[in-house]
Structure formats: structure tokens, C-alpha cells
């Protein structure tokens, strides 16, 4: 039996006592971008993906050590990060040499003068970007959640790859969670090419997981296959379903490439890796 809602309720009450709601402000920025990719197209035969909620630790030395290790060993082509911090007056995020990235903040921490948000990086520049901000806000700090849609060219293919990096809303009732999924479904459903849909979905209850599963089925997406041993390493709350996922469509998952980097400890979420190849649909 899950006790997660009670734990979160106590956390919210505690937070109210120490952090004023006006510390966290909505941002007018849609995306902050950097175009450094050296390639003009993604290699259709091998698209390596990293998905990771980094828990705002990207200012910490121990996180950089882990991140550079992942880049060196696995050389991902596309990176989906959630809970990324960025200085308000800084126009660059360290660690993405030779990669283009788009950053979608969902709020500003007025005390520390930092953004918080999600970041998608790739070895090529995106040909299109779209940000979807939730209509509903999480309690206490009144901050929304954000999703970032980016589109990329694929080598020798007329169709493009659409990627969606999402962090789903938490601490709210099921209808508000469902509303965010519905908005994402509408945005994704118009794309006729390949799709990668990844992030932290905050599916800490069975009801949330079922809503996500129904959305994925309607969109014709498949879940990246992690062996039972690897699947156990994915972030959960007690006995809940996993929180982090990689979904795909119009691609083929390369066998035995999906893994969870359990040795990485610079976030309470473990990095997820998978590799795909384009299939002609």
C-alpha cells in the first residue's frame, strides 16, 4: 500500500514554514538555446539516448564527474535532462561541448537567482522547438511544470524525429495530471514521423501509471525495454511503478542496449540509456 500522498502532504506543510511562496516566480522565457552541434543530421542507424532527472545538482562537482563519465563512455546523441539549474544572467550551461541544446525553464528562484527547468541536448541543432507549460500549478510555490518538444533531421530520411522531454506535474489531483497528459497527447499526435518521448513522469501511483499507459497506447508508442534486473534500478517511491521512462515510435530499439546506470549517485534518479535505429514506416 502506498503512503506517498501522506509523505508529500507533510513535506508541503513543512515547506510552507520555511520558504515563502513568492521566492519562486514564473519566468517569461520560453527557451534558452545554444547551437553548437557539429553534425547536420542524426545518424539513422544509431541514435543513443540518455534520460535523467538530475535533481538540480548540475552546479556540483560530483555531478560533473558523473556526467562527463557518461558522455565519455556512452556518447549519447540526444540527452533529456529534468530539474536542471541555470543562472539567470548566464547564457551557457557547462558540459555540452559540441552539442546544441534548448532549455525550458518553469520558474525562477529569486533567492538564488537561478532558473529551474528541463534541457534537451543533441549532436545537431533542432529545426523546430515548442514549449508546453501546464495550466495548473503545483501547490505551495505555485509553479507549473514544463515540457519541451524539439524536432531533428535524420540522415537520408524525409521524415523528421520529434522528441518530447517532459516533467509531469506532482502534488496535485489526478484530473490535473490527466490534463497535462492530454495537452501533450494533442501536441504529439499531429507528428507523422518518428518520436522519442522521455522524462520524469511522476507516476508514483497505479492510477497515474494507468493514465500514462493509456496515453502511450493511443499514440502508438512503445516503452524502451529494460530487463527485470535493470528495471528494478529505476527510481520509484516504495512499491510504486517507475517514475522515469523512454517511449518511442517509428524506431527500432537495439537489443540489450537499455540500461540503468546504478553506479551513478549524483542524483536520486538513475540515468536511463537506450539505443535506437530508424525503421522505414
Residues 6+ away with beta carbon under 8 Å from 93: 34, 58, 84, 86, 101, 103, 119
Tell me 242's DSSP state: P
Number of neighbouring beta carbons within 10 Å of residue 65: 12
Mean pLDDT rounded to a whole number for the chain: 87
Share of the chain above pLDDT 70, in %: 83
pLDDT for 165 beyond 90: yes
Nearest to 149 by CA among 108, 193, 197: 197
Nearest to 193 by CA among 158, 234, 227: 158
* Residue 193 grid cell: 514521423
C-alpha distances (whole Å) from 207 to each of 155, 184, 230 are: 40, 18, 23
Please tell me the predicted confidence (pLDDT) of residue 22.
Answer: 47
Please tell me the predicted confidence (pLDDT) of residue 111.
Answer: 63
Please tell me the predicted confidence (pLDDT) of residue 2.
Answer: 42
Mean pLDDT of 138-167: 92
pLDDT tens string 61-118 = 999 999 999 999 999 999 999 999 987 665 566 678 789 999 999 866 566 667 789 9
pLDDT tens string 227-275 = 999 999 999 998 999 999 999 999 999 999 999 999 999 999 999 999 9
Amino acid at each position: 500500500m502506498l503512503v506517498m500522498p501522506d509523505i508529500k502532504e507533510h513535506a508541503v506543510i513543512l515547506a510552507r514554514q520555511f520558504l515563502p511562496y513568492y521566492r519562486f516566480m514564473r519566468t517569461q522565457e520560453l527557451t534558452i538555446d545554444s547551437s553548437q552541434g557539429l553534425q547536420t543530421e542524426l545518424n539513422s542507424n544509431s541514435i543513443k539516448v540518455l534520460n535523467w532527472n538530475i535533481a538540480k545538482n548540475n552546479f556540483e562537482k560530483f555531478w560533473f564527474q558523473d556526467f562527463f563519465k557518461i558522455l565519455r563512455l556512452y556518447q549519447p546523441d540526444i540527452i533529456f535532462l529534468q530539474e536542471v539549474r541555470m543562472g539567470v544572467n548566464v547564457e551557457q550551461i557547462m558540459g555540452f561541448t559540441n552539442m546544441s541544446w534548448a532549455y525550458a525553464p518553469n520558474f525562477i528562484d529569486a533567492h538564488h537567482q537561478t532558473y529551474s527547468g528541463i534541457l534537451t541536448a543533441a549532436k545537431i541543432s533542432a529545426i523546430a522547438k515548442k514549449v508546453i507549460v501546464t495550466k495548473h500549478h503545483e501547490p505551495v510555490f505555485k509553479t507549473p511544470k514544463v515540457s519541451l518538444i524539439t524536432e531533428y533531421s535524420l540522415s537520408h530520411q524525409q521524415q523528421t524525429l520529434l522528441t518530447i522531454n517532459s516533467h509531469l506535474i506532482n502534488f496535485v489531483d489526478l484530473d490535473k495530471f490527466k490534463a497535462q497528459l492530454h495537452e501533450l497527447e494533442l501536441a504529439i499526435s499531429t507528428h507523422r514521423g518518428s518520436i522519442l518521448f522521455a522524462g520524469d513522469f511522476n507516476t508514483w501511483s497505479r492510477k497515474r501509471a494507468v493514465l500514462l499507459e493509456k496515453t502511450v497506447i493511443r499514440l502508438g508508442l512503445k516503452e524502451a525495454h529494460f530487463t527485470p534486473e535493470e528495471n528494478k534500478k529505476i527510481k520509484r517511491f516504495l512499491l510504486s511503478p517507475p517514475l522515469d521512462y523512454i517511449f518511442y515510435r517509428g524506431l527500432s530499439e537495439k537489443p540489450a542496449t537499455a540500461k540503468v546506470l546504478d553506479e551513478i549517485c549524483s542524483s536520486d534518479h538513475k540515468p536511463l540509456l537506450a539505443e535506437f535505429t530508424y525503421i522505414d514506416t
